[in-house]
Structure 1
Amino acid sequence: MLDLVTNQKPENDFARMDYERDRKGPPEGFPNLPDIPGSRYTDAEFLRLEKEMMWDKAWLYAGHVDQLPEKGSWFLWRNSGVPIIVVRTLQDEYKAFYNTCQHRGAPLVTEDSGKDRGFVCGYHGWSYTLDGKLTAVRDKRDFVDLDFSCRSLVQVRCEMLGSMIFVNKDDDAEPLMDHIGPMAKQLEQFELDKLRLVDSREYEVDCNVKVLLDAFLEVYHLKSIHIDTVDRFLDHRAMIVTLWPNGHSRMATPNRRPDWVDPGTVGMPEIPSITEFPAKNNVSYQIYPNFVMPPAPTGIPILQFWPLGPRKSRVVSSWLAPDHDPENPHPLWPTRLSNWERILYEDLQYAPQIQESLESPGFKGMPLNYQERRIYHWHEELDRRIGLNRVPEHARVEQVLSDWVQKD
């Protein structure tokens, strides 16, 4: 039965669930996962390296095309730690720029969103096209040899995953679709380019961002945290995991009853191309480091987890759906969003107390089990992005899961 774990092709997913449900222990050959050092959640030097080498060089979800409904639309995005303008240009392209005038660093926009034919700095009037090119400066006669071509706005890498806009502050990052590798093929069935934005809201939580991320990489906690909600219909013991290169992963948890359908979604429009496996199971994709997407036939929630400091985080929860009309939404959406928020609050409720506890002398590290291997995979990738030799020895994670990563 071991092949059902190591041979992680989608066509084997149903059989893999049967294997997971019936196994008596971890699969043969699965490594003993060394403890995740507790200092990774509290040590100032480690958190600095994490920001510099991982967060500042990662592909991060910035927004949905519905937030840019017309040419000239833009919104200001701050979740990466610096203000970035995401804009739909007059040539109908999606681009991103630092919100920084190239004269003396003043912001080009101060509102959260808007529509313009260009950007004008409110401090000294320098003007730019929506493509970021400098076009005019006040009192040009007073500048000596000012080369407009060298004073364009500083662009940020901006690429699309369907209708979703991702940015990356690293000019040398590999293209987004190459970066997510084997996941890209699986995501095609969800027709992400056709999905509309239904809702988006934010929550701030007093804990390190990894406390939240860890919770969404496993279902080991279902019987404690979600007793009256998802644990009633999900069979966590049959959950399967696929680990991919670059820290990405997928988790799939079957329903307790194969014929179970969420009664709160009956009659809602469905994604026509979705295949049987994600249609009948609870599948959750994770794009490293902080993008979690558990798709369903009638709608796709997307979650991002953002560090606001060593002990503070922001969660952004959004929903995408097929055939959604913002002016005339389906009548089930208010109840569905309310139920989703209830489940989300269950996941967030203990996070501040967990933060207090892991800062105590009683927390030395985390002994993870086979069910929690996505967490270990996430931390292995973090060390690789920092550089294995740069990670302080007391915070280092041993690289042990390479044989369990699906390359294609």
Structure 2
Amino acid sequence: MTQQARKEQLGNVAEIMRDYVEHKTTHQTQTTMTVPTASYTSQEQFDREMDRVFKKVPLMLAFTAELPNPGDFKAMDAAGMPVLINRDKHGAVRAFLNVCAHRGAPVAPEGHGNCPVFVCKYHGWSYGQDGRLRAVSEQRTFGDIDKAQRGLRQMPCEERAGMIFVCLDPAGSIDLDDYFQGYLGDFEDLDFANWHYVGSRTIHGANWKIAFDGYLEGYHFSSLHPETIHPRTPSNCMHYEGFGPNMRIGFPQHEISNLLKDHPREEWGTRENHGYDFVRILFPNVSIFVAPEITQVAQLFPGPTPDSNRTVLNYLRRDPPRDEEDAKRLEGFCDFFRNVTYEEDYLIGMEIQKGLESGAHETLVFGKNERGNQYFHEWVNWYVAGDENAPKPEM
């Protein structure tokens, strides 16, 4: 799809959302859907999600803006896997397991940095930017070793549209065109690759799906966010589009009709944040909200047990801080978004976790108006089932 075609599609969605607000309705599917409460508490379910979802699909683990220069790297924990992503001197991006081939220690400290060689802090073995073992400390006394067989374990990795995707299975593969069904064009249109990375905040909460469910609907805006989100965005007014297992969720603003009426219909697709907003979902664990002031990208990683998650809230902006005052203002926005996400969404998520573990109900129900949640759980179920010949969910 061309950029012009995407613009026209967004304009069509804007018109649909305007009608939702004017008629006080929302996107609806044919029926409600029940999900077993054990989906959020079962160790067996959790293990299958780790093996068949998080270790198989392409995960968005970093931004081009985090590794803009040759030699830049990012070391992190992703679903319990120690990951090292780096950009070599030619600009190519690679991903490795951050594990020395000698005794298993990390070769790079967690966080961001820049270096030409990765050196294990345990015994000083060193690796090049291509992951090859370059030197064994005091090899004369260590003994013979085939360096070609002792490099860092590489994982499938691809950089696209300002984001870096990694498959946590070294024997796996990545096909972003098939997986995203043209959806990454949204981020190319936004010129996401040239944005500025502001920083991140980390919060912790309940089961990763409990937390993620909250990003997929606006049914709760008036009751849970009466002073933060609801003044801008009506409750229970959403539009859903599917791109493979990924989604674009539209949220019209209360004033969408007034904000669009003075603009030609052909320009409505360019009015994001000026009448409507989008939350862009990258299955299984990323939610992206492009706001006028700053963009929040939430990466949800399952915790070590089914009842916990670790969420990294990343913040980006189209341009770097103009001065010290602007930088301080950006940090304030980061704190504000973090506080709203944690205090208004994650705290109730932990209460939900306790409720589900009580055994009060065997199932939960998602309404016809909560199609995003239904679609997400349908795809989780599809991957967990492990039958690639089974029909895939459709929006």
State the TM-score, normalizing by the size of structure 2. Answer: 0.85
Shift of 1:223: 1.3
User: For each residue in 1:13-66, what CA deviation from the matched residue of structure 2 results, as whole angstroms up to 9, or x when unmatched?
Assistant: 133224434377976xx4323311111111111111111111112222323344
Shift of 1:335: 4.3
2:67–2:74 contact (8 Å) kept in structure 1: yes
- Structure 2 residue corresponding to 1:364, chosen from 349, 362, 365: 362
2:64–2:193 contact (8 Å) kept in structure 1: no
1:377–1:401 contact (8 Å) kept in structure 2: yes
Shift of 1:275: 1.8
Shift of 1:87: 1.6
For 2:285 and 2:336, the matched residues in 1 are separated by: 23
Shift of 1:356: 0.4
- Structure 2 residue corresponding to 1:295, chosen from 250, 272, 290: 290
Map 1:293-372; keep pairs closer than 5 Å.
Answer: 293-308=288-303, 309-325=305-321, 328=324, 330=326, 332-344=329-341, 345-372=343-370
Change (3 A) 1:23 1:384: same
Shift of 1:140: 4.2
Change (3 A) 1:208 1:135: same
User: For each residue in 1:147-172, what CA deviation from the matched residue of structure 2 results, as whole angstroms up to 9, or x when unmatched?
Assistant: 32222211122222333323221343
Task: Tell me the equivalent position of 1:266.
Answer: none
Query: Secondary structure of the residue that 1:83 maps to in structure 2?
Result: strand
Q: Which amino acid aligns with 1:199?
A: G
CA-based RMSD of the aligned residues comes to 2.9
Task: Tell me the equivalent position of 1:224.
Answer: 223
Change (3 A) 1:380 1:241: same
Extract structure 1 runs of 4+ deviating beyond 6 A. Answer: 23-26, 142-145
Shift of 1:338: 4.0
Q: Percent identity?
A: 26
Shift of 1:121: 2.5
Gaps of at least 5 residues in structure 1 are 1-7, 262-273, 391-397
Q: Which amino acid aligns with 1:213?
A: F
For 2:344 and 2:136, the matched residues in 1 are separated by: 53
For 2:387 and 2:220, the matched residues in 1 are separated by: 33
1:31–1:400 contact (8 Å) kept in structure 2: no
1:212–1:351 contact (8 Å) kept in structure 2: yes
2:85–2:94 contact (8 Å) kept in structure 1: yes
User: For each residue in 1:228-270, what CA deviation from the matched residue of structure 2 results, as whole angstroms up to 9, or x when unmatched?
Assistant: 121112123442111221x211111111113789xxxxxxxxx
For 2:202 and 2:293, the matched residues in 1 are separated by: 22
Question: Aligned pair count?
Answer: 373
For 2:203 and 2:99, the matched residues in 1 are separated by: 27
1:51 paired to 2:50: yes
Query: Secondary structure of the residue that 2:134 maps to in structure 1?
Result: strand
Shift of 1:119: 1.8
Task: Tell me the equivalent position of 1:130.
Answer: 129
Gaps of at least 5 residues in structure 2 are 1-7, 260-268
For 2:129 and 2:295, the matched residues in 1 are separated by: 31
For 1:26 and 1:13, the matched residues in 2 are separated by: 11
1:125–1:137 contact (8 Å) kept in structure 2: yes
For 1:23 and 1:258, the matched residues in 2 are separated by: 13
Task: Tell me the equivalent position of 1:382.
Answer: 380
User: For each residue in 1:168-203, what CA deviation from the matched residue of structure 2 results, as whole angstroms up to 9, or x when unmatched?
Assistant: 213433333442113122332211011101231111
Task: Tell me the equivalent position of 2:152.
Answer: 153
Q: Which amino acid aligns with 2:256?
A: P
1:200–1:317 contact (8 Å) kept in structure 2: yes
